[in-house]
Amino acid sequence: MRRRIGCLNAGVNERDVHDVLDVLHVFCGADGRNGNALGVVRDPRVCPDRTSRQALAAELGFSETVFVDDPERGVVDIYTPSTRLPFAGHPLVGVAWLLDLESVSAPAGEVWARNDGEFTWITARAEWAPPRLIEQYASADDVDALPTPPPGEGWLYAWAWEDEAAGRVRARGFPRRGDGIAEDEATGAAALLLTEQLGRALNITQGRGSQILTAPGPDGEIEIGGRVRLEALAPPAPIPASVLAQPAPTPMRIRMAPIKRDAGSRPRLVPYTLRAEVMSPRE
């Protein structure tokens, strides 16, 4: 059974989620599995204000849900189940991939985006990321053994080196907001902060097997990249009844005939004329 959207906008609160929502997995592993789930609402009329958007994000329960206010300019609005965010990595990577954008504009600022065939990248600044407690552990096994902490203590990003020379990191993320997201499968914002802290490119394995790549750039900018997989695509809008009611076009047949020209005349690029003829019912 499909769930119903809980938006407060009376005009759309009975629409199926399937009709308005694209679901992606961002920062997937090399096998295409895992990644952080992302809801993308491409029609801003579905939930036109912050109250209704927050209600939908809470109902869907994804780590983040992003609303596309302007698909051509890439203007987006990002929500967790409990709060609005000025910046988040996996929603911006996901939207850039889904809409094939060269830039995405979040409340914190505009990020550049590119796709290299396997990975989609955004360029952002660490100061845009919401604050997180970043704790280093002695080994990847120690990170794996961590129990889920209770809510109320602020965002925790636990990490350890898997191979320091190669820049390979094992990480887990715990929002601790008390909004149903006990552990974040893959978080670009935390990867951004860790990359700034360490000052080097990283290959991060987070959660059950998600992969995040980062690379410091000039002027404090950092690239974050990952694979994106489409789980469910919202169907296109139905054809209006007024269009369906239009009479079918009259069948036509196109005939090609050689052009006659005088000797010595300049040749034409297309030496044929086209003539349309109405087809009879028997044809």
Cα separations (Å) of 194 from 104, 144, 185, 198, 264?
Answer: 22, 18, 16, 6, 76
CA angle, 166 as apex, 209 and 223 as ends, to 5°?
70
Query: How far is the C-alpha of 273 from the C-alpha of 79, rounded, in Å?
Result: 59
pLDDT the model gives residue 278: 47
Report how many helices (DSSP H) and strands (DSSP E) the chain contains, helices first: 6, 16
Query: How far is the C-alpha of 271 from the C-alpha of 283, rounded, in Å?
Result: 28
> 64 by DSSP, 3-state: which?
strand
pLDDT the model gives residue 19: 76
Domains, the chain, ordered by start? 17-232 (3.10.310.10)
Task: Show Cβ contacts of residue 159 under 8 Å, excluding neighbours closer than 6 positions.
Answer: 134, 135, 136, 137, 143, 169, 170, 171, 172, 194, 204
pLDDT the model gives residue 151: 87
Below-50 pLDDT ranges, the chain: 1-3, 8, 10-14, 239-240, 242-246, 248-281
Q: Do residues 143 and 170 make contact, with C-beta atoms less than 8 angstroms apart?
A: yes
52-105 pLDDT, tens digit per residue, is: 999 999 999 999 999 999 999 999 999 999 999 999 999 999 999 999 999 999
Give strand pairing partners of 178.
none
Torsion of CA 43, 98, 225, 124, to 10 degrees: -40
Q: What is the number of alpha carbons within 13 Å of residue 174 lying toward its C-beta? A: 18
Give strand pairing partners of 254.
276
Q: Do residues 167 and 142 make contact, with C-beta atoms less than 8 angstroms apart?
A: no
Token digits for 69? 């206010």
Q: Do residues 223 and 123 make contact, with C-beta atoms less than 8 angstroms apart?
A: yes
